[in-house]
Amino acid sequence: MNAYEPSRRVLVTGGAGFLGSHLCERLLADGHEVLCVDNFYTGRRANIAHLLDNPRFEVLRHDITFPLYVEVDQIYNLACPASPVHYQFDPVQTTKTSVHGAINMLGLAKRVKARIFQASTSEVYGDPHVHPQTEGYWGHVNPIGLRSCYDEGKRCAETLFMDYRRQHGVSIRVARIFNTYGPRMHPNDGRVVSNFIMQALTGQPITVYGDGHQTRAFCYVDDMVGAFVRFMDSDDDLCGPINLGNPQEMSMLAIARQVIELTGSQSGIEFRPLPSDDPVQRCPDISLARSALGWEPRVSLEEGLSRTIAYFAQRVGTNPPSYRPREAQPSMGRVRA
């Protein structure tokens, strides 16, 4: 943070989750006060344990489907299960979190005149007919499928954000987040990178759905969090939506093979039927992020996977010989019940 820039009081909903915990860490490093709000449905206290001794950090257990009354300068709305395993477990609550949560956080932002960031998703594009996906593409989404609670919930949240801007003048930021990975992912969240790494480290077959030729593009968490902060602090006329992700596209089969190589695993690859409404291609066009924010990912897939493998290896008690776990972060933060 610039020496002449005052610190802010920043609310992060979903702050004990994978992305949220990294964002809290970054905001504290930048000198801000952080209020981490989480209902701990998928968030974990272990993700923020190293922040708890910092006097500028607070934790509040709260579900954002209910109103929240606090005084803050900025709001990052990250609260919502993001993996199919978790958001399909209670689809009604997933939709409530996206829609009621957005209404409550936008109401708070309106009341206290705070700028608010919405963590939207590439899932708003559904199974796209346009590739790579640009922000102007309206998507191809099944409104009644198994993934609809998340896809349509996030699409509705984007509508609410835009209407609060037009009707009430709320300062908003809407980011469409593409696949992100890194340390602190939940080991059983059912997402590609965590699945592949855990299976490789424990000697299980690597599960690839379909023929493995469907593609994704993966962004390392540090790059993504840097984009969040840069977008939040950008000029007021840049409200989004804006794609944030890594445009380097790879097939599921290629990623599985790279994980096997980096872990030194003897795991084979096991093919299973493709889940319902699973997109065949997903890759962001980040031209707007490059031109408007001067941002693009820096961490290569090999480097990011290596760091993530080291994190999971610690959790399962193995130690891939070529990679070391990241150094422990200094202890920071306090908790409020």
Q: What is the pLDDT of the chain when averaged over all its residues?
A: 89
Q: Which of 300, 306, 307 is nearest to 326 (CA)?
A: 307
Angstrom CA distances, 150 to 47, 80, 92, 300, stand at 23, 9, 10, 29
Question: What is the arithmetic mean of pLDDT over 200-226?
Answer: 92
Least confident of 38-47, 187-196, 200-209, 240-249: 187-196
Residue 321 is predicted with a pLDDT of 41
For domain 9-182+219-246+283-297, give the fold: Rossmann fold (3.40.50)
Element (H, E) at 117: strand 115-121
pLDDT 10s digits, 62-71: 999 999 999 9
Angle between helices 91-112 and 148-168 (to 10 degrees): 20
Give the per-residue pLDDT at 319. 61
pLDDT for position 328: 34
Q: Side-chain half-sphere of 207: how many Cα atoms within 13 Å? A: 14
pLDDT tens digit string along 273-316? Answer: 877 766 777 889 999 999 999 999 999 999 999 999 999 998 88
Cis peptide before 241 (omega within 30 of 0): yes
Pairing of strands 206-209, 57-61: unpaired
**Per residue, what are the HEC states of 167-195?**
HHCCCEEEEEECCEECCCCCCCCCCHHHH
Q: Check residue 96 and give left, alpha or beta (phi > 0: left; psi -120 to 50: alpha).
A: alpha
The pLDDT score that the predictor gives to residue 263 is 93
Q: Are 80 and 156 in contact (CB under 8 A)?
A: no
Q: Which residues are catalytic?
A: 150
Cα 251 from Cα 195, distance rounded (Å): 15
Average pLDDT over residues 213-225: 93
Distances 164 to 68, 99, 104, 173 between C-alpha atoms, Å = 18, 13, 12, 12
As given in the structure block, the two tokens for residue 184 are 């602190």
* Residue 212 banded pLDDT, cuts 50, 70, 90: confident
Residue whose entry in the numeric block shows the structure tokens 């890759």? 283
Integer Cα distance of 294 and 298 in angstroms: 12
Tell whether the model's pLDDT for residue 172 goes beyond 80: yes
Section 148-161 average pLDDT? 92
Burial letters for 73-98: b for 16+ Cβ neighbours within 10 Å, e otherwise? bbbbbbbbbbbbebbbeebebbbbbb
CA distance 107 to 229: 22
From 25-39, 140-154, 220-234, the region with the lowest mean pLDDT: 140-154
Spatial strand order in the sheet of 57-61 = 57-61, 33-38, 9-13, 74-77, 115-121, 172-177, 242-244
Q: Which two tokens stand for residue 233?
A: 């602090």
- The number of CA neighbours under 13 Å toward the Cβ of 93 is 15
